Amino acid sequence: MVSIFTQIIQGDIPSYRIYEDAHIYAFLSIEPFHLGHTLVIPKQEIGDILELPSELYLHLMQVSKNIIAPAIKKATRANRI
């Protein structure tokens, strides 16, 4: 069964994309807790974080820290990310 996240990645459900590469997709939450609330997800459908390959996990975290977080901080002028 295709998850809601796969439907978002495929464009079946609209989203405001923040970042995308061959392995991950980042988009704004439709129900943000704070301004800039962004979800960063693997494109590969994975049922449990324990099944997430280490290389993909590391890539997701590196992009989150080095690309997405600085952009959110700049756009929202948040003190902390």
pLDDT in tens, 42-63: 999 998 899 999 999 999 999 9
| Cα 49 from Cα 45, distance rounded (Å) | 11
Which residues have C-beta within 8 Å of that of residue 18, sequence separation ≥ 6? 26, 27, 28, 38, 68, 71, 72
DSSP state of 18: E
pLDDT band at 1 (very low <50, low <70, confident <90, very high): confident
pLDDT in tens, 22-36: 999 999 999 888 888
| Cα 9 from Cα 46, distance rounded (Å) | 14
pLDDT band at 80 (very low <50, low <70, confident <90, very high): confident
> Tell me, which fold does domain 4-76 have in CATH?
HIT family, subunit A (3.30.428)
What integer pLDDT is reported at residue 11 of this predicted model? 94
